[in-house]
Amino acid sequence: MPGKIQTQEEALAASIEMEKKGQDFYKKTAVKASTKLTRDLFEFLAREELKHIEAIKTFYHAGLSGGKREFDDVVSGVDPAKARKAIGKLFEGLDKKAPVDKSDLETYKFARDFELNSEKFYREAALKAIDAEVKKLFEFLAEEEKRHFKMLDDSMAYLENPQEYFHRLEGWHVEG
């Protein structure tokens, strides 16, 4: 919720919290998945979330803030409770509904919502970013979340109806 976050540093700290939530969800869900496809995809997504966390940290270590501040300095200036509260509002109610013990399809639906909310967060944060490099980072993360949504959507389509999935994948054509 970039509107509730006051600074770029808070938005970046909130991004790390959001990515950590995603990673935790995907790790837990992968263990409980009933299909290999779901397990493999969710393990992959957990690794992706970790890469995002590292990218945000590396971004700061590379000198985002004029090379004068380390990542820990940036985060230490932010009230972690404030960042968690902003993320909590963004994903209000989702934690209570996380279907890690339910069917894979329900889990996919939850994960797609998580990715959509994450993409929205990053797009709004990019619009409000003052620093051009921060804007690029948020735009990159938004595209990553969009890609994750597509992966989840495609996998869900396959699980729901494999024949239709492959028909859709091949595209419509007329045999003569």
**In this model, does residue 162 exceed pLDDT 80?**
no
CATH number at residue 155: 1.20.1260.10
Q: Is pLDDT larger for residue 78 or for residue 133?
A: 133
pLDDT-derived band at 152 (thresholds 50, 70, 90) equals very high
In this predicted model, what pLDDT tens digit does every residue of 2-42 receive, in sequence order? 446 667 777 877 888 999 999 999 999 999 988 888 888 89
Domain span holding position 52: 8-170
pTM: predicted TM-score of the whole model, two decimal places: 0.73
| 80 occurs within a structural domain | yes
| 3 occurs within a structural domain | no
**In this model, does residue 167 exceed pLDDT 60?**
yes
| 65 occurs within a structural domain | yes
Compute the distance between CA of residue 148 and CA of residue 144 in angstroms, rounded to an integer: 6
Matching residue, tokens 């996380």: 98
Number of domains, the chain: 1
Q: Is pLDDT larger for residue 100 or for residue 174?
A: 174
| 2 occurs within a structural domain | no
Q: What is the pLDDT of residue 60?
A: 55
